[in-house]
Each structure stands twice: as C-alpha cells, then as structure tokens.
Amino acid sequence: MLFLAETSTDGVREQLFSTHDIPAVLWSPDGARGARPLVLLSHGGGRHKKDPEMVELGRRLALDHGYAVVVPDVPAHGDRPPVEEYQRLADRNQSRVAAGEDLGPLIAAFQALVARQTVPEWRAVLDAVQQLPHVGAGPVGYWGVSLGCGLGVPFVAAEPRVRAAVLGLGGASANADLAARITAPVQFVLQWDDERVPRAHGLALYDAIGSAEKTLHANPGGHEMPPAEVDSAVRFLARHLG
C-alpha cells in the first residue's frame, strides 16, 4: 500500500492510499487500535471515492460505530485513467437511450463488463486494508446502489468475508444468476418509479437474491433514494456487523 495523504477531522482519520494501482480512501476512528468491522462502499456512476454521499456515510460509520470504511475509485472514475472500451460502450448506450430504447438492459450489460475488473480489485483492496493494525480481519459489510448494485452483486456473491450488504436501484438483467449465490443478509432498496431501472427488473433482482434473510424497501419516486434509507442502511449494517 502506498499512503498518499492523511488528515484528521472531528474524530475521524482519513487516509488516501493506492494499492495495486487502485486509488481509494479509508476512514477510521481517530486513534483506533485493533480489529474492527470494515465496510466497503461503492460510489455511483460518474462520481468518485470522495463524493459527498461517500464522505457523509463513511465518516458516520467511523464516528458513530467505530468502523473502518473504504471506498475505491471504480475504473474510469475519480483518479483513475479513462478506459477507452468503457467510454465507447457508455457513448453507445447514450445514443440508444436518445433513440428511446429501454435503458435497464443497456446499463446492466455495461455494469457486468466493469464488474469483471472490480470484483478482483475490491478483493485485493480488502486484503490490503485488513493487514492494517487499526482495521484487522473483522467482519465486512458492503453498501452500493445503482452502479454500486450492478458491481456489488457479483462482488458479494464472490466474497465470503461479506456478512451483510445493502444493495438497490439495480435490476436483474445481468445479475440474476450471481444474485442467487448471495447468502449474506441483504437490505434492498427499490424506487417504485425509477426511470433508469424498470420496476419489474428491480423486483426480479430482489427475488433472485439467494439470502435466507433479505428485506425489500420500496419508496415512491425516481432514481434517487430518500435520506431515510441512509439511516436504515446504517442500522442494518450495525445490527449485522456488531
């Protein structure tokens, strides 16, 4: 791991680092020692590891619950270089959307492609961060919606260290088979009038998740969660990670 910067604000330590050429940020309680739960957050499409949503949730989990929280930059986002293939597919998808085609399957296919890269990357990030003395090999949680759901389903399905996951704003077009392999408890968020993910696709993904313990949170409105869902996600992760 290469540490790039470190600051401390209001009881939370922030460390910017890179491992395996993956830039990321780690939040933990100031002065933390010993093992603790670790939560991996995924930012949304077009955003980055220090997006305000990530900063708010990461600092909250660190300060209020004593967790370590890591957010890697997704390929072609944040401090990562552009990926020509990803950009070409994204541009093609936009042209199809302009032509009135269904956006859900197009987004799902793109996310499935990116996930082939992010799943091994995120496992490597966990390996590196859990070697730190103020993080250790405690239980792992995951939070990711929209792009973070499309990438999170294959990650949670492949990673046995994940004890609980918050997913949502995603559909089953590319992930149903992988969702069936998930066994960790899941809280799933669905927006009833989502303009990007048809309701039937979201419900199909929830139905496909193989966890014996899973909960569906459905809210009216488009492709943006209400603030109360963040509070609920924090409670869910705290309940399962301790």
Task: Check pLDDT > 80 for residue 135.
Answer: yes
- pLDDT, one tens digit per residue, over 102-119 is 666 677 778 888 999 999
Q: To the nearest whole number, what is the mean pLDDT of the chain? A: 93
Residue 208 burial (10 A CB sphere; 0-12, 13-18, 19+):
middle
3-state DSSP assignment of residue 188:
strand
- pLDDT bin (cut points 50, 70, 90) of residue 97 is low
Partners of 49 in the β-ladder: none
Q: What pLDDT score does 100 carry?
A: 66
Contact assessment for residue 71 and residue 48, using Cβ atoms and an 8 Å cutoff: no
Residue 9 in tokens: 């604000």
Q: What pLDDT score does 177 carry?
A: 92
Q: What pLDDT score does 93 carry?
A: 65
Count of H helices and E strands in the chain?
7, 9
Task: Check pLDDT > 90 for residue 45.
Answer: no
Q: Fold for domain 2-241? A: Rossmann fold (3.40.50)
- pLDDT, one tens digit per residue, over 13-33 is 999 999 999 999 999 999 999
The pTM (predicted TM-score) of the whole model is 0.94
- pLDDT, one tens digit per residue, over 63-83 is 999 999 999 999 999 999 988
3-state DSSP assignment of residue 191:
strand
